[in-house]
Amino acid sequence: MWRYLWTELRLMLRTVTPAQAVTHELLHAEHELLHAESAVEYAQSLVTYNKQRVKRLKAYLVIDEPKDQAINKETT
């Protein structure tokens, strides 16, 4: 962490060529892209999880519905 901060400080204080500046910005862009792709993977996992959960709960209601109807008839 300290090494990274020190490197960043040195880069800010020295004169860099346009090619070096572009390379540095490209590294940052690639890093941000990795973070964004990780966020997409996480969000997709949440969507998949909740779709499966909804499907499972709906199936449970269909299976359990006849039991509830039989109980309701007995209590009335």
Query: Do 24 and 11 meet the contact criterion of CB atoms below 8 Å apart?
Result: yes
Q: What is the mean pLDDT of the chain?
A: 88
Under the banding of pLDDT at 50, 70 and 90, the label for residue 29 is: very high
* Predicted local distance difference test score (pLDDT) of residue 9: 86
Q: What mean pLDDT is predicted for residues 15-42? A: 95
Side chain identity at residue 66, one-letter code: P
* Distance from C-alpha of 2 to C-alpha of 67, rounded to nearest angstrom: 64
Reported pTM: 0.57
Contacts of 16 (CB under 8 A, 6+ apart): 24
Digit-coded pLDDT (tens) for 7-28: 888 878 888 799 988 999 999 9
Count, residues in the chain: 76
* Distance from C-alpha of 38 to C-alpha of 42, rounded to nearest angstrom: 6
Q: Hey, where are the domains in the chain?
A: 2-75
Q: What mean pLDDT is predicted for residues 22-35? A: 96
